[in-house]
A and B are shown apart, each in its own frame.
Chain A
């Protein structure tokens, strides 16, 4: 059971109050982009065993979207921040580094904003 804190209204609640929305910080690719970029945006996911950035909606609360940085192995939540952030804010990165000193941003779209190597 996850306990998340909504960064908009400040309410901390169990996961049943929120709705998960999949990997965060995906770079949107639409008409005119290459097939590779569109496939990566539409289907390919990082799926890390460890630190993950994920969209959530405070469905049974203020209704707003936010992003949670959490660990998929321990379910520890490092930080939550508004969905308007295009990349993890420095406080969130610091909170992750404090608990996972070895953490490197994933190779794909997430967090780094770069295409996979």
Chain B
């Protein structure tokens, strides 16, 4: 069906190490096969179960009253009228919360330019005397029905004393700009540096060429199709909270609620994550409504449900990207990169409630040196407060920006120095012989064949035949451009994950995972891992994730981590099953355990036909009379894995666009990707992830944008009428191929695939657009490339088509 295939010629380093699992790939439904998804039959018949589909007995409905002002003091809140409305069971403000709720906190030790500590403020639960962005929660209204709660919410009378506000990054840094927080007049939350400043400055001072550019990466929203929702419930008899929610990290939600918010033992909170209608990083663990629902449930003695609306989602969900880059590239006379220097100016919104809200501006940014050999680099970050919602990870979380800066800068350098874009990349690309390598910004690349991937994409995209296609487009009155990017990103960074395999007395297994599927197809992929490592059929395995009462430990799914961390934890658990199973099998077969082998689900005395299946061994494990002396009954094994270092998936994207200069409309006419995500567990799933990433990265470049009025900080894009979303007609088919260079940083050789598409798409598409406009003398163009903006760029260009 797809025009693509995964090319395994590249399997190189670590191939022997993975010999055991790779040899088993021929087995039914194992690693490497395009198995279709277990969960689809449910989804496609309307039986997916998302939070909004759940209702608890006796449930009431909550609605959050939100500030219409971007920055104001609250003089008073009058809830009397709202309390008197029909069906209302509670109207709560900060006064009612009292000291019941704690807050989350920032742990990163950062400083402001003068050396004073980072300025941060966490959301307090409900506003305490001040509001700092439109949508800031002020009161919580609970009623018998949603419509009654909404009607009552309109009757909460808040007397605001409005202050000047700032809604935009550049505006916030302008001299005399209003302060987002009165106690931080310069709007600078903190600054931070990575790399070697002195060496970088020295390299620039002696460079033959210096290329400088300024790029703006727009503010966007993850726009999962399922708006957030949650139900909070409190059981007064056992003193426990239960939260149903659509968070990507259920165990972290539990931990935050127990430790930081309610300050109770972790075991007193249960979080249940069901099907999730998309997250993309945006459905994080510290969402404010969770604590309001649980608190209100305890107060009212009944469950309380909340369903976010789409506009409310834009008003209060964490947003993403929104940064400016002042980037410089130093080259020698031959075009070799000497140094990269950049100033990353990030909007961090009004509230910085935890490291999550500033993470995108640091942890993934060393990818800015890309796949290139930089002797030195330095990046300074300035994080700026505005009266807008918090910023947080969204598919890439700083990686797309990093890739955007370097890949655009190389194109700009090639144009300014009269060099070929591909040749300039090729001159500076890291070769396999240079790996492993610690880059100038501190990433530790282990393996990869960057140039081979680039060449593969250039060939798939017929780069050399482009000139003729551009001429053919010109003959039709159209502008045509082609763009290339070589993205690389940090994935699966160090952090624990958990997996457990539990057999029952009939020999059937349940896999319990600390990761949380929200569209990736985990159930299918992890059953494939068990097919390879335990020889088990998918039908013999039940799959559980998301319920903190059922899964003993978990961290969750984000940062392209689950195949690496949860997948490896599952392999470790499977290894323990085999280890214990071998002792039982040896006893059943009356052999020494050293003589018993395990392959494809069967224990066998080596060199004989005497064998016993894993299923029979599992059944025997619950029959003490069949067990050898000293072996404990039961077969429940778990695995924990924390990688020692990141993995580095990379690839090359080639994108071609055609622009009608009369209307400014733009069409993506060709898109190819050559990728290396390490061992591929399921090509269908990987390609789906790449498609999705390109859809989101491409959507940002083409049309998406969250817009705040710079001076009033009012949100201008609070619905799908104002926030353009990519649809079917906006993308051509995407051709994906790849090489597999397994990493040896985990037992599966996987590198992570969730974010790769978005990281490559943002620069590749923009480079193609600039290339299309270049013949007109256009050298600068910022996203989004809406027809109007493209048309204006053409109208004001030095030359006309």
Q: Do A and B come from one complex?
A: no
User: Chain A: residues with CB nearer than 8 A to chain B?
Assistant: none
